[in-house]
Structure 1
Amino acid sequence: MKPIQNKPKLRTLVGSVLSLTLLSSQSLVLANPKPASSPNIHPIYKQAQQELPKNYFTVYAIVDRIARANGLDNKPWRIVVTSNYEINAYASDTNLLTFEAGLMDQLEGNASALACAIGHEMGHHVKQHLGYGPAKQEQARLEELQKAEKDKLIAEQDAQTQAALGAGVAVGASQAASAVGGTGGQILGVFGMLLGGAAQQKAQNIEQIKADIEKQAEERYNQRLTEISQGHELEADELGYIYSVKAGFDPNGCLAVMDILGRMPGAQLDAGSHPAPEKRGDKIKALMTEYPPETLKAEGKNLLSAKSTPLQYQTFSYQVEGGGTFAGLKVLPITGTTEDDLENYLK
Structure 2
Amino acid sequence: MPARPARLAIGALAVAALVSACSTSPLGRNQLAFYSDGDLAEMGQQSFAQYQQELPTVGGAQAQYVQCVANAITAEVPASEGIASWQVKVFKDDSANAFALPGGYIGVNTGLLDVATNQDQLAAVIGHEVGHVLAHHANERASTQAVTQGGLSVLQSAVGLQGQSGEQVMGLLGAGAQYGVVLPFSRKHESEADLIGLDLMADAGFDPSASLALWQNMAANSQGEPPAWMSTHPSNTQRMEDLRNRLPEATPRYQQAKADGKRPNCRL
- TM-score when normalising by structure 1: 0.54
User: Where does 1:307-318 land on structure 2 (aligned, <5 Å)?
Assistant: none
Asked if 1:235 is matched to 2:192, the reply is: yes
| Corresponding residue number in structure 2 for 1:345 | none
Match of 1:26 among 56, 59, 77: 56
Distance in structure 2 (CA, Å) of the matches to 1:247 and 1:253:
14
Query: Among 207, 231, 245, which residue is 2:202 paired with?
Result: 245
Number of the residue aligned with 2:96: 87
Judge conservation of contact 2:86–2:106 (CA < 8 Å) in 1: yes
Higher relative contact order (CA 8 A, sep 6+): 1
Give the counterpart letter for 1:55 in structure 2: Q
Partner of 2:236: 277
Partner deviation per Cα, 1:179-233 (whole Å, 9 max, x = no partner): xxxxxxxxxxxxxxxxxxxxxxxxxxx9665344312311122121101211111
Deviation at 1:88, TM superposition (A): 0.9
Match of 2:143 in 1: 135
Matched, 1:146 2:148: no
User: Which residue number corresponds to residue 42 of structure 2?
Assistant: none
Per-residue CA deviations over 1:225-276 (Å, capped at 9, x if unaligned) read 1012111111111111111112222222111222122231133531122121
Match of 1:262 among 211, 215, 219: 219
Corresponding letter in the other structure for 1:126: L
Quote the Cα distance in structure 1 between the aligned partners of 2:130 and 2:185.
18
What secondary structure, in the 3-state scheme, does the structure 2 residue paired with 1:20 have?
A: helix
Task: Identify the residue that residue 65 of structure 2 maps to in structure 1.
Answer: 58
Post-superposition offset of 1:277: 1.4
CA-CA distance at 1:71 after TM superposition: 3.9
Deviation per CA, 1:35-93: give whole Å up to 9, x if none: xxxxxxxxxxxxxxxxxx22122222212222334546962111111121111112236
Contact residue 121 and residue 211 of structure 2 kept, 8 A? yes
Identical-pair percentage: 20
Q: Distance in 1 between matches of 2:141 and 2:128?
A: 16
Counting only pairs closer than 5 Å after superposition, residues 1-347 of structure 1 correspond to structure 2 as 20=47, 22=49, 23=51, 24=53, 25-29=55-59, 53-69=60-76, 71=78, 75-92=84-101, 94-108=103-117, 110-150=118-158, 152-153=159-160, 210-223=166-179, 224-263=181-220, 264-267=222-225, 269-270=227-228, 271-289=230-248, 291-294=249-252, 296-301=253-258
Q: How many residues align?
A: 211
Q: How many Å separate the matches in 1 of 2:154 and 2:144?
A: 15
Partner secondary structure for residue 99 of structure 2: strand
Q: Secondary structure at the match of 1:284?
A: helix
| SS at structure 1 position matched to 2:47 | coil
Q: For each residue in 1:73-125, what CA deviation from the matched residue of structure 2 results, as whole angstroms up to 9, or x when unmatched? A: 962111111121111112236321111111112222x2211110010111112
Structure 1 269/275 Cα, relative in aligned 2: closer, same or farther at 3 Å? same
Distance 1:227 1:256 in 2: 25
Q: Distance in 2 between matches of 1:213 and 1:284?
A: 40
Q: Which runs of 5+ in 1 are unaligned?
A: 1-18, 30-52, 157-205, 309-347
Corresponding residue number in structure 2 for 1:197: none
- What code does the residue aligned with 2:144 have? K
**CA–CA distance in structure 1, aligned partners of residues 99 and 192 of structure 2:** 15
C-alpha separation in 1, matches of 2:74 and 2:48: 25
Secondary structure, in 3 states, of the residue corresponding to 2:75? Answer: helix
Contact 1:69 1:303 in 2 (8 A): no
Instruction: Tell me which protein shows more helix as a share of its residues.
Output: 2
CA contact (8 A) 1:91 1:124 kept: yes
Whether the aligned pair in 1 keeps the contact of 2:128 and 2:194 (CA below 8 Å) is: yes
Q: Is the 8 A contact 1:145 1:217 kept in 2?
A: no
Distance in 1 between the 2:57 and 2:194 partners?
A: 30
Q: What's 1:322 paired with? A: none
Inter-partner Cα distance in structure 1 for 2:85 and 2:48 = 19
